[in-house]
Structure 1
Amino acid sequence: MKSQTRRQNKLSRSITANAVAAVICGYTSFNAIAADQNSLTNEEIETIEVRGIAASNKQDINNKRFSTGVMDSITAEDIGKLPDVTIADTLQRIPGIQIRRSAGEGSTINVRGMPQVTTLLNGEQFLSAGSITTLQPDFTDVPAALLSGIDVLKSPQADTLAGGISGTLDLKTRRPFDLEQGTTFSFTGEATRGSLSEETDPKLVAFAGYNNDDFGIIFTAAYDEGTLANYRNGTILTSSEVKDETTRDFNGDGDLNDSFYSQRFYGVMHRETERERLGLNTTVQYRISDAVTFTGDIFYTNMDDADRKQGMMIDNARGDNWAYSDSFIPRLDNDQGGQIYTVNDATFLARRVSAYSESLTNDRESTNVSMLFEYQGDGPLSGEFRYIHGSAERGHTENVAHGYLTSGAQHGLLRNDGTGATPVNPNGVGPDSVAVDFSRGGEYITLGFEEGFGSDINQYNLVSTYSENNFEEEATLDVARIDGRYEFSTEHLSNVDFGIRASKRDVERETYILVAPFTTGDLSADVMWKDSGASLGDTNGDGENSVAGGDLTIGHTNFFSDLPDGWVHQVSDFGPGGSNQSFYLIDPKVMDDPMAFQNAIYPGNKRLANPSRTYQVKEQTQSAYFKFNFAGELGDMSYTANLGAQYIRTELDMLQNQLGSARPCSLCTASEKTGEKWLNRDYSDFLPSMNFNLNLTEDFILRAGYGKTMTTLDIGKLAGGISVGRTRAGDVLAAELGVSPDLLVAVQGRQNGNPDLEPWRATNYNLSAEWYFNESGLLSLSAFLMDIESFVENGTVMMGLPDIDGVIRREVPVTTEINGEGGEIKGFELTYQQAFDFLPAPFDGLGTSLNFTYAPSDSANVDVYGKSLPIQDNSEKSANAVLWYEKGPLQLRLAANYRSDRLDSLSSAMGEGVMPFWTKSTLYYDLYAGYELAEDTSIYTSVSNLTEEKEDIYAQWSDNVITQNIFERRITLGIRTRF
């Protein structure tokens, strides 16, 4: 692999390219533009095409060096080849970026601790099917092979679309005019195998391009399948409990005033994520005249995925005296004057043991179309017009099945068909105990059952099944913008950029559950939780549905041995540390179609809308910007600078559903819709920005940046429904309100989506020093400060809600999300890159890239001791190290990514604050090796997560690990050719 050069004879094309790059993104140095325009002639012009590790590193350094603000860049090493498996995995190599993983692969990112990051496609907004309501896509949607590079802009600039609090990503696709003249074809084939899933997955990438310098076209297609193992041990559902037990003396001090802290649900879970992904990109460029160029893009993604879980889950089902151990660990004082204890190794009296299966599916599709007209005449004025249309849709389903091994009698779950009360699982058993070891002496959490427990299929009964949190959402995006530049011939003012932009985004979501009719006697109701012990109760009070032993239950037994062929299989693989025993489980694959599965158990299912999570939002924005660009000399030093501002006005129309206290179904999560109304609001932001770059020497640059930023909230946090809690007025309140004592009046509410939330806003400061000691060497130190106006948190507001007769008489407390206190994130980034080409052969092929980020943060939340907690998912420290070797036909690269502990989520109130769940520090290694068989053909292998790193999640105390997410090693073999 090597860098290649080509020559062109067209002056206008290179000038236009420079001008357009500056207009769209402001990435090109104004000094460089001026130098290009002064020195270019109609003679041949040399252009570099990036190929190989060393060449891409040089290009990344060059992009950073000649940028007009603080930024980092990653360039694909060849057609269809970003350095890592996914876009997010590639981005984690950039200082200041931390990623979140889905099934072990990078899915979304934080920049300097904040996930409020705008992602652009070729300089403008685009719509992703995996994140229709937000501005950052789910990067698992987008095949990395479609991209030629990524820029991460960390200091705001007036001509960059506002939306990123901490930064902006610009995903870039290839352009036909960047290819060699004539035709270019490229093909990549891969096979990937997981160390735990033991599945072999294919990937194919095909590229075809043509360029005759006046017309060019590119077509890229990427298709892949993936089955990724993602085991979970420990807490399966994070439901924290403090047992205020008074029947045991935990510490042997003679009193009974101590408590036991635990999670209710423990288990071992075999989990696999299956994905099928297709990406298509077509780009056409046509030189209409010497002054006008047209570029058209179609960017299409389609991904179907299923996240399937199956495993054994135990819980105490509201029982007491659950954990027994000789090693209770004291943690902090409780309200009873004693202490709260935890255990790392305990025996649990499991009230319920469930064979749990779950299927979550997603169908995602998006199309983004862009049309760009660029004008570059002979005069000082240049500009462009761009129109974008995007559409995206997503369907999501959730389907759950609980198969009992225990009888249900242990926690009082009975059924009654009229002949008397019996356990819901009459063939079930009752284990004396289940051993849970959290000490991780063998590194993994283990769950130990009695020998032979669960070996008989006749002991299993499908007691409960349901499908909820399903939704269908769709969105459209339309953008029109005009950008211009006017050149000056003054000593310092180089040019001025200006533009206007208008956009419209419409989002619609319908959330629904599946309900089936349950009927007994004169009672009938639609039911979501289809449980063998479900009872509609004696609602008419005449005892008609009451029999000896309690109310009639409607659900029936569904023994595993009676289920259709292929539904049940035996599983013993629960990942490293899992039980070696075999259990019978419903195959989650048969649950991918919730309607078919639910109808096979309880016929007559139908979709029932859940209005509390159903909404429509129309967002319109109008913006304008100006930016003055300067370049010149200050004594013996050259400089570039820009000063500008962006004004943006946002208008929102939001559908807010009103919900009553009644439900439209029995045993369900849906609310009764009593009305709806459209809410309207608008707000404006003026966002000044400044960037100053001083070349102290030819190789040493100082940068300073200032800017105000804003980003709109997740639309799901703005819309939804308000549920109203009502009660009988009574004599005192009735007299105050002037109503009947029997009137049901509003007393409280719950709002899903707060239309009054303000967008995220911050003021950012950047300062960096960069030393480019050779063409492949960089040493830089960047400091940053983000002053964030407020964080979104749960809170209470007073709102006027209607009484049962529809009249609003007073304000009542409503729980919702609010704008809380703000805070600061400040830190620094240190980067070192170098190719060691000065070493004697064969070591002259070595190179390295190292970076470290320190970004502490604070929020308004505090832990159980009252200590301030950081922003969720932000690691205070992160680092990357890449060692590479490229010599002749051989390429090698070893990469490491480190993140320190990070706040995962917040649980129940305890002590002086809330119980925090933390993810322990992680260190991931990835390996790549390639060999060039011929000039344009290479074979390669890559290994991601080389050491099978896992995620340990602990509650407050680092030795109190409660959950483990276990990811696999994935090995890829591939071949790449181009001609």
Structure 2
Amino acid sequence: MTSTKLNKITQGLKLALVVGATISSQQVTAQETQQAEGVETIEIRGLRASTQADLNNKRFADGILDSITAEDIGKLPDLTLADTLQRVAGVQITRSAGEGSAVNIRGVGEVGTLLNGEQFLSAGSITTVQPNFSDISSSLVSGIDVHKSPTSKILAGGISGTLDLKTIRPFDLKEGFTYVGSAELTRGNYTKENDKKITSFFGYNDEKFGVTASISWDTNTLANYRLGTPNIGWSGAQTEGDAWDGIGEDRTGDGDKNDALVTFIGYGNMGRQSERERLGVVTTLQAQLSDSIQMVADVFYTEMDDADRSIGMVADNAWGYFGWEEHGSDLVKRGVISDGGLAGADLYTSNTGVLNAPRVASTSESRTNDRDSLNMNLEFTFDNGGPLSGSVRYLHGEGQRETTHNIVQAFLTDGSRQNLFRNDGTGEIPVHPEGYSDLVPIERDFSGKHPQLKLPSLGGGMSDYAIVSTYSEENYYEEATLDVLRADGTYEFDTSHLRAVEFGVRKGKRDVTRDTYVLLAPINQDGLSNDVMWKDQGEVANDTNGDGEFSRAGGDKTIGYDNYLNFANLPSSWVIQSGDFGPVNVGNFYFINPEILDDHIGFQNELYPGNFKASQPGDSYKVQENTKSAYFNVKLDGQLGEMPYKANVGLQYIKTDLNVVQNLLGSDVICRACPGIVADVGDVVTDRSFSDTLPSVNFKLNLTDELIARASYGKTMTRLNTRNLGAGMTVNSTINQGEVSDVPVGERYAVEANRGGNPNLAPTRATNHDLTLEWYFTDSGLLSVAWFKMDVDSYIATDVTREYVPDPSDGVVRRQVDVRGPVNGDGGSIKGWEFAYQQGFDFLPGFWSGFGAGLNYTYAPSTSDTLDFEGNELPLAENSENSGNAVLWYEKDGWQFRIAANYRSERFIGQNGRNFGGGGLALFAKPTTYVDMSASYDFNDNISVYFSGSNLTKEFEDQYFQWEDYTVAQDIYERRLTMGVRGRW
């Protein structure tokens, strides 16, 4: 462990303890507490005990709930929070670099997430209500409640459910001191790095005062390869006709030229790895100030620095040669394009063929994230044993994130087919004269297990590569603050049915600011100067009429770079040789080391001095959200004949005030060689308010001592992603094919615009219904069935409008273009079933009594108002119709073993592509099955060793366009094995 990181851990612990000791001056986050006196402390250790605790939480819950309890302090069942959550029936996760990062419940991703019962900030996703689960180490969490039915007391924020992450409290511990620590190593089958994790927990409880402090530090290097097309959105229809993007010949052999082939701007073999370093510090102070007043103070701090780095051999059509792809023998006719500019054309696909590439590039890329968040809570509870009890709490959160994105493209081609030339003093020559001058024939074969591109021999030395283009874009800094003040109360009644009334008020304020920028560098040549983003070794800006005003569309004078950046002339530490593309072997190539791209300004200045940050006003904004809410909940408890029942009927009212500040885009182009960087001429301020009244009903009936029936009804809503509200317009362009000088200025570029946000969006709202039947046939046995229905009233969708925008070539407003942006769609519905079985086999003799098993399955078909290419109704985004889990575990004589499999059917991602008619082609991820295991042995009550493996079968994820047999990309993850030692005193 580095001294810097040790200092961070020490500082974090000091911060936590100081906050606890000086609680009167702090602002923090909270959770429900229990009286220290008269309550038995139940210690949960082991698989069987945690399984029984999960069932007890579910059995006695007021609503429909699933629970996950740590097997010991800092020991959840899986390596990550999302991986643990995927074991719950109905929960599906999305992976990043193989680890779970996002969660949906019953096919809907709008899931509210709380920390100890309240809202919190996560630095990895401070614009949304759900955190990036890779931010938070699982060892900091003692349990997770998955609320599938709404109750008025739970803060509204999720459509399909709410997750409540819980941390351990001092009064949960045995009296005296408790210490738990662990150290482990993890290794991936592709990355082959020895990743480390160290955790430490300290707790003290004397029944009147207690304190806990937990620290987790880890490093990880994760494989995240990508084979196929690097960017799904860069797709379109390659036509046979004689239009500017056509090829002018009958390639399908049907006797006409009225056909189109689905194609992409580029294809590649990408070797990607994510390197992460994460620190988490959690501390809690708990004190019984008097017989009736208790105080709880919490600090929850997370910090993660990561770099997603990639190297790739990428072939593309240079954004202009759209007739570049020749199909293979597996050509399939898919249908007729129904509308748009290609209406009536027959559409074809092919998994094999030849790419006649005008450009082949060795591409290196680095995207870094430095992020941290601090959530603090202070809570006082009152309970004197009388009918009235309550609590007051205040919390404050801060989060920030800085992201950089740096790219360098080194050509193996010479650039002449893109009209890229430089002047070495003797006249114009291609930017990379040693490069390949003709179209490069590349074999594309996506018909097998893994997509592959096979390049012909283009030479094997470093001199065959030269940096031609480099730039830094999509950089941003965002920060947020959160302040919440709330009061809750309960008044209990001594009657046969009315047991209690719960009530509360809450006021919250969330501020989010985002500033997005690119790096520009000045260039000077022949007395002319310009600032550019894309530093291309060729034409970067042109003086169109000799007056010193520049555009990217050809002119009398050109400003360009004439320095030649051949790999053989670069510092040796800059260049690496690699063929690491995961499971495919397509040869070794040279690349710029992506690690040196982490410093985006430093690297760009090494090549082109004087880089400075230029704000992108179209993707910069401020959003303030103020909420006021109140709830009222009536709790009923009694008998219906011989059957006990419990119920709660409540109402939650929320008033939301929004202040959205966007930037007004002017017609002046700040950077002539980087479309979309236009003048910020003022602010567009939108103030609006809306309110939601959310009823909820939960009913529980004990048909017998073991058989429980439940029913629930409720309305739900989710807070809006601030980026969907605040982001403005960005304008992009691609050059039309042909000689630039022959095309009028206004037609030299195909222009499109994207509006990232819409301040008038309404939140997503839904009406939920649930029915469940649960049979608890033993202390560790459950058999249950659930029916659910969600009617989503309004969903965030994308629509296209025609608007006048500044032309990116010169800033002049001369035409209307398609503008894509978020709108409120008509919504959709999900109606399905859940089945669950869980049991410990302690009724079996001897060795066999240590076994236990769990099975669950969810069927969640969905509908929406969106249609695919063939006119079929598409499901809701990120929904899988079928999902399930199978778990087998064993615990006896100090041994613990667990193997788990998670299945998810095809997942709808969204619609992409151009010129296909309608909203484009539907993009799906194919079904996946992930298998994980863990094992441990307890030498005694204090020391244990453990071993675990994730993704044992090295599962990968295929993505296909519209038709299951048309694969376009594949994400490759790795098997990871962990071994460690754990101590407890």
| TM-score where L is the length of structure 2 | 0.89
Shift of 1:230: 1.0
Deviation at 1:849, TM superposition (A): 1.0
Q: 2:537 aligns with which of 525, 532, 549?
A: 532
Q: State the shift of 1:862 in Å.
A: 1.4
Correspondence list, 1:222-621, <5 A: 222-238=216-232, 239-246=234-241, 247-317=248-318, 318-319=320-321, 320-334=323-337, 335=342, 339-416=346-423, 419-430=426-437, 432-440=440-448, 443-451=449-457, 453-541=458-546, 551-554=558-561, 556-579=563-586, 581-621=587-627
**Is 1:863 the equivalent of 2:863?**
no
Aligned to 1:739: none
Cα distance in 2 between the residues matched to 1:197 and 1:872: 32
Look up the match of 2:49: 55
Counterpart amino acid of residue 423 in structure 1: P
Aligned residue identity for 1:240: S
Aligned to 2:714: 707
Match of 2:183 among 185, 189, 214: 189
Q: Deviations over 1:30-55 (max 9, x none)?
A: xxxxxxx9xx9x9x764421110011
Matched, 1:157 2:151: yes
What whole-Å deviation, never above 9, does each CA across 1:153-192 have from its counterpart, x for those lacking one? 0111011101111110000000100101010001111100
1:281-323 CA-to-partner distances (Å, cap 9, x unmatched) read: 0011100011111111000000000000101000122222432
Q: Secondary structure at the match of 1:255?
A: coil
SS in 2 for 1:708: strand
Q: Say if 1:862 and 1:914, in contact at 8 Å, map to a contact too.
A: no
Rounded Cα–Cα distance in structure 2 between residues aligned with 1:748 and 1:405 = 30
Q: Structure 1 CA distance, aligned partners of 2:611 and 2:559?
A: 21
Encode CA deviations 1:422-452: one digit per residue, 9 max, x unaligned. 2121111246411111111xx111111224x
- CA shift in 2, pair 1:106/1:428, >3 Å: same
User: 2:856 & 2:33 partners in 1: Cα distance?
Assistant: 22
| Contact 1:315–1:351, Cα closer than 8 Å, also in 2 | yes
Counting only pairs closer than 5 Å after superposition, residues 605-754 of structure 1 correspond to structure 2 as 605-668=611-674, 669-722=676-729, 751-754=755-758
Counterpart of 2:788? 784
Measured in 2, the distance between the counterparts of 1:356 and 1:970 equals 27
User: Residues of 2 paired with 1:127 and 1:887: CA distance?
Assistant: 41
Identify the residue that residue 5 of structure 1 maps to in structure 2: none
**Displacement of 1:333:** 2.9
How many residue pairs align between the two structures?
915
CA distance in 1, matches of 2:726, 2:899: 46
- Could you tell me the percent identity over the aligned residues? 49
Task: Tell me, yes or no, if the aligned pair for 2:370 and 2:401 is still in contact at 8 Å.
Answer: yes
**AA of the residue aligned to 2:408:** A
SS of structure 2 residue aligned to 1:660: strand
Whole-Å separation in 2 of the counterparts to 1:548 and 1:211: 78
**Partner Cα distance (1:583, 1:715) in 2:** 42
Q: Which amino acid aligns with 1:143?
A: S
- Worse-matched range after superposition: 299-308 or 329-338: 329-338
Q: Is the 8 A contact 2:858 2:883 kept in 1?
A: yes
SS of the equivalent of 2:542 reads coil
In the other structure, the counterpart of 1:102 is 96
- The verdict on how the C-alpha distance between 1:343 and 1:220 changes in structure 2, with shifts beyond 3 A counting, is same
- The aligned amino acid for 2:878 is D
Q: Give the direction of change, closer, same or farther, for the CA distance of 1:376–1:69 in structure 2 (3 Å limit).
A: same
Aligned AA (1:482): A
SS in structure 1 of the partner of residue 541 of structure 2: coil
Counterpart secondary structure, 2:540: coil
The residue identity in structure 1 corresponding to 2:880 is S
The alpha carbon displacement at 1:817 in A equals 1.5
Aligned-residue Cα RMSD (Å) equals: 2.7
Q: Distance in 1 between matches of 2:798 and 2:254?
A: 40
Per-residue CA deviations over 1:55-75 (Å, capped at 9, x if unaligned) read: 100000000000000010000
Q: Cα–Cα, structure 1 residues 495 and 561, in superposed 2: closer, same or farther, change >3 Å?
A: same
| Distance in 1 separating the partners of 2:268 and 2:199 | 40
C-alpha contact 2:70 2:143 (8 A) present in aligned 1:
yes
Tell me, in whole angstroms, the C-alpha distance in 1 between the residues paired with 2:523 and 2:107: 49
2:761 corresponding residue in structure 1: 757
| Distance 1:959-1:548 versus aligned 2 partners, 3 A rule | closer
1:663–1:671 Cα contact (<8 Å) kept: yes
Q: Which residue identity is paired with 1:870?
A: P
Counterpart secondary structure, 1:90:
helix
8 Å CA contact 1:572–1:583 kept in 2: the answer is yes
CA drift of 1:816 comes to 2.9
1:402–1:462 contact (8 Å) kept in structure 2: yes
Corresponding position of 1:17: none
Aligned-pair CA distance for 1:410: 3.0
Q: CA-to-partner distance for each residue in 1:2-45, whole Å, 9 max, x for gaps?
A: xxxxxxxxxxxxxxxxxxxxxx99999xxxxxxxx9xx9x9x76
CA deviations 1:453-477 (Å, max 9, x no partner) are 3411001110000001101111111
**Per-residue deviation, 1:145:** 0.2
Deviations 1:83-102 (A, max 9, x none): 00100000000111110101
- Cα–Cα, structure 1 residues 244 and 802, in superposed 2: closer, same or farther, change >3 Å? closer
| Aligned pair partner of 1:167 in 144, 161, 169 | 161
1:142 maps onto 2:136 in alignment: yes
Distance 1:472 1:695 in 2: 53
Q: Distance in 1 between matches of 2:656 and 2:638?
A: 37
1:662/1:800 Cα in 2 relative to 1: closer, same or farther (>3 Å)? closer
Paired with 2:473 and 2:950, the residues of 1 have a C-alpha distance of 35
Note the residue ranges of structure 2 that are not aligned, 5 or more in a row. Answer: 1-29, 242-247, 733-750, 808-812
Q: Say whether the 8 Å CA contact 1:866–1:912 is kept in structure 2.
A: no
| More off after superposition, 644-653 vs 856-865 | 856-865
| Distance change (3 Å), C-alpha of 1:502 and 1:797 | farther
Aligned counterpart, 2:770: 766
**Aligned-partner Cα distance in 1 for 2:250–2:51:** 64
Question: What amino acid does structure 2 have at the position aligned with 1:504?
Answer: K
Distance (Å, rounded) in 2 between the aligned partners of 1:648 and 1:177: 34
Distance 1:567 1:800 in 2: 45
CA distance in 2, matches of 1:324, 1:906: 23
User: In the alignment, which of 835, 838, 855 is matched to residue 833 of structure 1?
Assistant: 838
Measured in 2, the distance between the counterparts of 1:662 and 1:417 equals 33
1:92 is aligned, of 74, 77, 86, to: 86
1:893 to 873, 898, 902: 898
Work out the CA distance in 1 between the residues paired with 2:818 and 2:579. 50
Residue deviations 1:248-269 (CA, integer Å, cap 9, x gap)? 4334333333322122211111
Question: Residues of 1 paired with 2:532 and 2:752: CA distance?
Answer: 26
Matched, 1:113 2:113: no
Aligned-partner Cα distance in 1 for 2:589–2:369: 28
Q: Deviations over 1:343-392 (max 9, x none)?
A: 22212211110000000000011000011111101321100011101101
Q: Within 2, Cα distance between the matches of 1:619 and 1:354?
A: 45
Match of 1:910 in 2: 916
Q: 1:204 aligns with which of 198, 207, 227?
A: 198
1:567-608 deviations in Å (ceiling 9; x for gaps): 1111121110241x1100001100001000000010000011
The answer to whether the 8 A contact 1:900-1:920 is kept is yes
Change (3 A) 1:654 1:801: farther
